[in-house]
A and B are shown apart, each in its own frame.
Chain A
Amino acid sequence: QVTLKESGPALVQPTQTLTLTCTLSGLSLTSSGVRLSWIRQPPGKAPEWLARIGWDDDKFYSKSLKTRLTISKDTSKNQVVLTMTNVDPVDTATYYCARDDRLTDAFDVWGQGTIVTVSS
């Protein structure tokens, strides 16, 4: 059974850097074809895709947020990390990691999400 769990700070001050971690179980980041994405959802709004990383370290970013995002993986810990620089209150959202299935081109497994509030 594949499970994903997000972790990170609940509160971040404006202009700071946000670091989020997604820990995978039942799925290895080194397995061919594995891709993980980060997706966020502001309160009461639709999800917004942020970034993706593949088993081969191929990376893909949202054009609108590309300059602020870095996605990476730690295969020894089976974790995917997302950093977002210079956060603003509009970045307040629930942040999810999701498996990005190459066969279906859809997000078929989601973590429970972690709520991040940007406020001073």
Chain B
Amino acid sequence: IVLTQSPGTLSLSPGERATLSCRASQSVSSSYLAWYQQKPGQAPRLLIYGASSRATGTPDRFSGSGSGTDFTLTISRLEPEDFAVYYCQQYASSPTFGQGTKVEIK
């Protein structure tokens, strides 16, 4: 299953809302869709699993939604520490990751 993320880069200011998209090449059960945040020099960190459940320690400004082939990660109000690269990942079959969306400071 191929995951395509858009946009490639999102330029926003602190306090703004970020909407990241992940589209799957075939239907994925919501149970098997996760989102990760990665900062330079660090390992990815699990933010959302099961499409909409926040992992332990994930702030509530992060929310996930979607089903079938279209999934969304929303950051309601960007904090300075949220500027990073975000990846979606599916586990319906052999695990795959999207190519990532970079959220950068405008």
A binds B: yes
Binary contact readout B25-37 vs A (1 if CB under 8 angstroms, 0 otherwise): 0000001101010
Size class of the A contact interface (CB-based, 8 Å)? 20 to 34
Chain A 102-114 interface mask (CB, 8 Å, partner B; 1/0): 0011111011110
* A50 CA / B42 CA spacing, docked (Å): 19
Q: Please indicate the chain A residues that have their CB under 8 angstroms from the CB of B99 in the complex.
A: 45-46
- The B interface, classified by DSSP as helix, strand, loop or mixed, is mixed
Within 8 A of A (CB), among B49-63: 49-50, 53, 55
B8-55 residues with Cβ-Cβ distance < 8 A to A are 31-32, 34, 36, 43-46, 49-50, 53, 55
Residue in A47, A96, A111 whose Cβ sees the most chain B Cβ within 10 Å: A47
Q: Does B96 belong to the interface (CB within 8 Å)?
A: yes
B94, A104: Cβ atoms under 8 Å? no
| Complex-state Cα separation, A60 to B55, whole angstroms | 25
